[in-house]
Structure 1
Amino acid sequence: MYPSIYRKIRWAFGIPTLIMFAIFWATIYVAENQLEIISLEHWLDTEYARYQRDFHQLGDSAPEPNPHEFITYQPLDTLPTWLAAYQKPGFYGHRTDGETTHFLVRPHPSGQGLLYIVFQEHADDYLDEYEAQLHLMTFILGAIVTGCVLVYSLYFIRSISAPLASIEKKIPYMAPDQPDFEVESQFRETREIEKTLLKSKTDISRYFQREQDFGRFASHELRTPITVVKGSAELLERLSIDHPLANKAIGRIHAASEEMSLLTDAFLLLGKAEIEDQFWSEIDIAAELQRVIQTLLPLYPSRACLIDTATSRQPQLAPRSFVVIVLNNLVKNALAYSDDDLKVTLTLEHLIIENNYSETDTAGYGCGLVIVERICERLDWSFEVTKLDSRYQACVTFPVMAQST
């Protein structure tokens, strides 16, 4: 299974958007917290600066920071246990029972010890109302931005995926028996794709029509002259012409007409999308092989054929013309191109024909090995040719009772 391009676009666009909004909300949250801390620290620094100024003028009688907002611990005061742990100047926040208490530690203006200025309970929450308003405004603004981005994302994804989905819907109409479709895309790239698909569909329909016409015309126009040739040969036989050359010519006419009829049937069957049941039959490969060898071997008197068919075989389900052409072609090519005896081995699953390869320019049979490959492919057989040095081997592998549709 291959991933969907629509899902790829959604994830590729959605994940960065989610990350961007996560960073956006995190930035606002951190900024709000930092703003609160800066405000509290500034307030405490202001109170300390005022107290320091007053202490230099009034000494110990200087008023401490606002007692309604702060608790001030002088160097000689007893510190709470949690506060005593802070012995270095700085601004701190101590969390206790879910609440954070902010305070400032500074050197005492007298130069002796430390001064602690601690917010009273809840006194450092004066920004809560402001924070609530800020949160509300941030939420509203973020919701508006989020909604706009989501709407735009959906629009963007649909604008990209819609032309692709339109092309995908047109693919089932590529079959020759389907009506033509219209080029609807408004984008240059996808429009070119649709135009190419439509042109390919038109070409396929024309090719298919030409094949149908050829099959229909060939079925009539080729078989008619073959029938005429056969009938003429039969008439010549009835004339009882007592001449060796005449009898030989009549025999050759019969053989050629049979061969033409066989090839015509095979070619027409190969051109069919489906081969009807009446063309299939159970073929005894061993018997057909013996017949082919007995027919062809006298044509090559200097050759011998070693046959090994010891293994008993079940018949093959196939059109007879296919089997005859495959066997006839392989055996005749092997005899014609061999400079030595021919070895034929027929096992339960293989037909192997071996010969010593000859470089003599001798014409092969019919359409050569190409037609054998096509027939084997149609019958779901495997065909392999191997050449090692001067040894040539052709191997056909077929399953027991192979079925074809």
Structure 2
Amino acid sequence: MEFRLSLSRRIVIAFVLMSSLVAGAFALGIVETVHVVEEKLLSTELGGDLDRLLRMETMEDWKLHPEPGQLFYFSGGQDDFALPHDLKHLKPGFHEVFRGELSYHAFVRLVDGRHYVLLQDQSEFENRERVLFVVVFIGFLLSIVLALVLGWLLARKVIEPVVRLSRQVRHRDQLLPLAPPLAPDYAADEVGELAAAFDSTLGRLRDALTREQLFTSDVSHELRTPLMVLASSAELLLENPALDARARAQAARIARASGEMRELVQTFLELARAQKGSTLVQADVAVEQVAEELIEQWREPIESKGLRLEYQCLQAPRGAFNPTLLRTVMGNLLRNAWHYTEQGHVRLTLLEHGFVIEDSGVGIPESEREAMFKPFVRGGEQRGDGLGLGLSLVQRVCEAQGWQVQLAAVEPSGCRFKVLLAP
């Protein structure tokens, strides 16, 4: 799983890293400067003292004139002036010498093949140097803590307009036609440009949604009249005793198709009203009544195909459901089962919280199940002249009503649609 940091955390991390690099470079610069100055100053000082000692003429002068804390040795010296073994390897120049817990600055000079070494106790200097390094280290840590605090405050200040803008864009009222523009609330900077871009995009989206709603509502409304004419004409034809069996079957088919179209138009009309923000009319409809009506409607097409239509009412859901939308969901799932099943059965089962429609058809591969609820997507076994809108309409209705539709496979073949109804 890919781990992504938020923008505010990335700003804090970048600020802390930059401050750490600057503070670290400054601390290292102080340490290196102290060493360089130490070597330069002490080399000059010890070199001058050693030159003064070398100008002495007698051993007694050397005993009296070394500065406090200084030790003087040379090759071939006697007693206290004898060159110790630990100093014989030193080359001419400045050195640091450690003897147990004591530390010295040493300056070595080679004159006429003889080594002269002057030591100066640097214990006090080392103590001051350690204090300086501790102060530098504490300053480095404090700079990191300060950078963390300042980075957090800066990130909050920088991200606050972006967070506010994202909340405004996500708010559902932003899609309403009278929603105020976002850009005037922000300065003329990058966030302001982003807000202006959102205004432009949301404006086009609002226009598209308005056109879709108007089209759906107008078409649904205008189709009602011709559909009523078709339905009434089919009923009159069925009442005519002069019709032969074939003509009567065709008239019944027209009546059934016009009824289905009328229900579909009513579904689109109510969905359009729901998108406009109005409340859908609910009714205390008996789910088993809708199921029994659809069973009777689909019995002849399903059984004429050689299939078994099975119906079970284990425990029907109770609640206020929109009858048109409920009939649309259940009817489209029955149509889908009839359409994709060549042998076996189609089963409708009512449960306490919904219903299940199961078939023994070709089934839907797992890789295609999610796409089956998208518009104009059909199964691999494409038969008939459908457009692939049935399951998409089911999904839209369920989302509008707060229902859930679940698709699963049936062994050895087939589909199982489970719809959970939320009153």
Same fold judged by TM-score > 0.5?
A: yes
> Which of 405, 408, 422 is the equivalent residue of 1:381?
405
- Structure 1 gaps of 5+ residues are 143-148
Q: Kindly indicate whether the alpha-carbon contact (under 8 Å) linking 2:349 and 2:357 is maintained by their aligned counterparts in 1.
A: yes
Write the distance in 2 (CA, Å) between the matches of 1:229 and 1:190: 57
Identity of aligned residues (%): 20
Matched residue pairs, number? 369
Change (3 A) 1:12 1:361: closer
Give the residue type in structure 2 aligned to 1:342. Answer: H
Change (3 A) 1:202 1:387: farther
2:415 alignment partner in structure 1: 394
After superposition, the C-alpha distances for 1:326-346 in whole angstroms (9 at most, x for unaligned) are 443444455466554534263
Q: Kindly indicate whether the alpha-carbon contact (under 8 Å) linking 2:220 and 2:269 is maintained by their aligned counterparts in 1.
A: yes
Shift of 1:31: 1.2
Of residues 158-167 and 369-378 in structure 1, the stretch that sits farther from structure 2 once superposed is: 158-167
Shift of 1:202: 0.9
After superposition, the C-alpha distances for 1:32-67 in whole angstroms (9 at most, x for unaligned) are 244134322332222223323x35xx3546555745
After superposition, the C-alpha distances for 1:246-276 in whole angstroms (9 at most, x for unaligned) are 9778756654443233112222233324683
Of residues 260-269 and 296-305 in structure 1, the stretch that sits farther from structure 2 once superposed is: 296-305
Write the distance in 1 (CA, Å) between the matches of 2:382 and 2:120: 112
After superposition, the C-alpha distances for 1:130-180 in whole angstroms (9 at most, x for unaligned) are x9xxx9xx9xxx9xxxxxx99x999x9899768856854763574334212
2:208 alignment partner in structure 1: 207
Q: Kindly indicate whether the alpha-carbon contact (under 8 Å) linking 2:183 and 2:193 is maintained by their aligned counterparts in 1.
A: no
2:222 alignment partner in structure 1: 221
Write the distance in 2 (CA, Å) between the matches of 1:158 and 1:356: 56
Q: Kindly indicate whether the alpha-carbon contact (under 8 Å) linking 1:376 and 1:382 is maintained by their aligned counterparts in 2.
A: no
Say yes or no: does 1:403 pair with 2:406.
Answer: no
Q: Kindly indicate whether the alpha-carbon contact (under 8 Å) linking 2:183 and 2:192 is maintained by their aligned counterparts in 1.
A: no
CA RMSD of aligned residues (A): 5.4
Shift of 1:283: 4.2
SS of the residue 1:398 aligns to: strand
After superposition, the C-alpha distances for 1:278-312 in whole angstroms (9 at most, x for unaligned) are 33545435x54444343333356643443455571
Matches for 1:289-304 after TM superposition, within 5 Å: 289-299=291-301, 302-304=304-306
Matches for 1:276-291 after TM superposition, within 5 Å: 276=279, 278-279=281-282, 281=284, 283-285=286-288, 288-291=290-293
Q: Kindly indicate whether the alpha-carbon contact (under 8 Å) linking 1:330 and 1:353 is maintained by their aligned counterparts in 2.
A: no
Q: Kindly indicate whether the alpha-carbon contact (under 8 Å) linking 2:109 and 2:115 is maintained by their aligned counterparts in 1.
A: yes
Say yes or no: does 1:371 pair with 2:393.
Answer: yes
Q: Kindly indicate whether the alpha-carbon contact (under 8 Å) linking 2:316 and 2:350 is maintained by their aligned counterparts in 1.
A: no
Change (3 A) 1:46 1:395: same
2:367 alignment partner in structure 1: none
Shift of 1:214: 3.4
Change (3 A) 1:21 1:395: same
Say yes or no: does 1:244 pair with 2:243.
Answer: yes
Q: Kindly indicate whether the alpha-carbon contact (under 8 Å) linking 2:360 and 2:410 is maintained by their aligned counterparts in 1.
A: no
Q: Kindly indicate whether the alpha-carbon contact (under 8 Å) linking 1:222 and 1:264 is maintained by their aligned counterparts in 2.
A: yes
What TM-score, normalized by structure 1, do the two folds share? 0.65
Write the distance in 2 (CA, Å) between the matches of 1:86 and 1:3: 58
After superposition, the C-alpha distances for 1:96-129 in whole angstroms (9 at most, x for unaligned) are 99xx77454769989999765546998x89xx9x
Write the distance in 2 (CA, Å) between the matches of 1:220 and 1:2: 50
Q: Kindly indicate whether the alpha-carbon contact (under 8 Å) linking 2:47 and 2:107 is maintained by their aligned counterparts in 1.
A: no
Matches for 1:5-404 after TM superposition, within 5 Å: 5-52=7-54, 54=55, 58-60=57-59, 66-67=65-66, 71-72=70-71, 75-77=77-79, 87-88=87-88, 91-92=95-96, 102-104=104-106, 117-118=119-120, 164=162, 168=166, 171-172=169-170, 174-176=174-176, 177-182=178-183, 193-218=194-219, 220-227=221-228, 236=236, 242-244=241-243, 255-271=256-272, 272-273=274-275, 276=279, 278-279=281-282, 281=284, 283-285=286-288, 288-299=290-301, 302-309=304-311, 312-315=314-317, 318-332=321-335, 334-335=337-338, 339-340=342-343, 342-344=345-347, 346=349, 348=351, 350-355=356-361, 362-363=384-385, 367-376=389-398, 378=400, 379-383=403-407, 393-399=414-420, 402-403=421-422
Q: Kindly indicate whether the alpha-carbon contact (under 8 Å) linking 2:310 and 2:345 is maintained by their aligned counterparts in 1.
A: no
Write the distance in 1 (CA, Å) between the matches of 2:387 and 2:291: 16
Shift of 1:25: 2.9
Write the distance in 1 (CA, Å) between the matches of 2:158 and 2:398: 46
Write the distance in 2 (CA, Å) between the matches of 1:367 and 1:228: 25
Change (3 A) 1:313 1:307: farther
Write the distance in 1 (CA, Å) between the matches of 2:313 and 2:181: 55
Write the distance in 1 (CA, Å) between the matches of 2:323 and 2:155: 58
Write the distance in 2 (CA, Å) between the matches of 1:261 and 1:8: 57
SS of the residue 1:262 aligns to: helix
Write the distance in 1 (CA, Å) between the matches of 2:248 and 2:118: 135
